[in-house]
Structure 1
Amino acid sequence: YIYTETQKLIKKFGTRDPFKIMDQMHIIVGETSRYKRLKGYCFMSCQSIYVMISSFLSEEEKKIVAAHELGHIILHRSQLKMAPMKDDTLYSMMDNTEYQANLFAADLLLDDTDISDLVQNEDLDYFGLCSSLNSSPELMSFKLYSLTKRGQAYHMPMEIQSNFLAK
């Protein structure tokens, strides 16, 4: 169902860019330099939804964190009403909500067809695939896991890393 949710958003908003989607959804996005370890968080206040992303991250990491936080907003909205959802370690496999937000981010940011087309190139290894799609290896692992769960056969060259953005 996570893949289906990402496809609905992409179709509705005409983009895979989490910042553009959040803008069209009237989600308020900001950056913070307040916390060194916190990658991002989202919360709801007075019927408005806010996403804060660490200013210490690279542009690629900010996009991944934005997609991850959007995953929380779409998949776990009721939990936002109780307390902010804070992420100091992305790609966690221990917490089901974090795992789901990671799959959401991978399915939002990486297109199935692009991967299918690129894996046909026998000269392209796993890291070349990641580089070609401007993806981290860890995000690609989640995408390949999603594809496998949906019945497509892809070789997983590395384990899904739970602490990749904590490095």
Structure 2
Amino acid sequence: MDDIVTKLIRKHRTNCPFSIARAVGIQIRFTNLGKSTKGLYFRKLRRRFIVIHNDLPPEWQRFVCAHELGHDRLHKGINRFFLEEHSYFAPGKLERQANLFAIQLLTAGVTPEPEESLEKFCLRTGLPRDAQHFFYSN
């Protein structure tokens, strides 16, 4: 997975998931997905889509885009939903991999400062504060 993230960043000269997704031909849409779904990735007629819940704060929209881009890069041909962490659905292996992909992409080239808490690292790198637990589930 490290190689995939590194190659994407090198090729597109950014770690912005929105820019990378558009550059690889994925259409990004924003809409109301209800209370339990933050985003989803799907393919239809050879077209790829990332749909992000439009009421999410910007840092969550960025994380969800990176997560769904992870599904595109890691899980070719599989449509996956990114369900809210408080739902009754435990994230499976594919969800954990997409979370790790998102963290690696969004924190590329940034290392924690000595004595820096995970919460401060997340804030400094633009990760959602609530995404801290993804570091432990991977």
TM-score, normalised relative to structure 2: 0.85
- Number of residues of Structure 1 aligned to a counterpart in Structure 2: 136
* Identity, % of aligned positions: 28
Query: Is there any run of 5+ residues in structure 1 with no aligned partner, and where?
Result: 144-158, 162-167
**Residue 82 of structure 2 aligns with which residue?**
87
**Residue 105 of structure 1 aligns with which residue?**
102
Residue of structure 2 aligned with 1:136, choices 128, 135, 138 = 128
Q: 1:46 and 2:48 equivalent?
A: no
Query: Is there any run of 5+ residues in structure 2 with no aligned partner, and where?
Result: none
**Residue 119 of structure 1 aligns with which residue?**
113
**Residue 69 of structure 2 aligns with which residue?**
70
What is the Cα deviation at residue 38 of structure 1? 1.0
TM-score, normalised relative to structure 1: 0.71
1:60-105, Cα deviation, whole Å (9 max, x unpaired): 00000000000000000122xxxx3111135987401001000000
What is the Cα deviation at residue 24 of structure 1? 0.7
CA-atom RMSD in angstroms: 2.4
Which residue identity is paired with 1:88?
A: L
Residue of structure 1 aligned with 2:93, choices 92, 96, 100 = 96
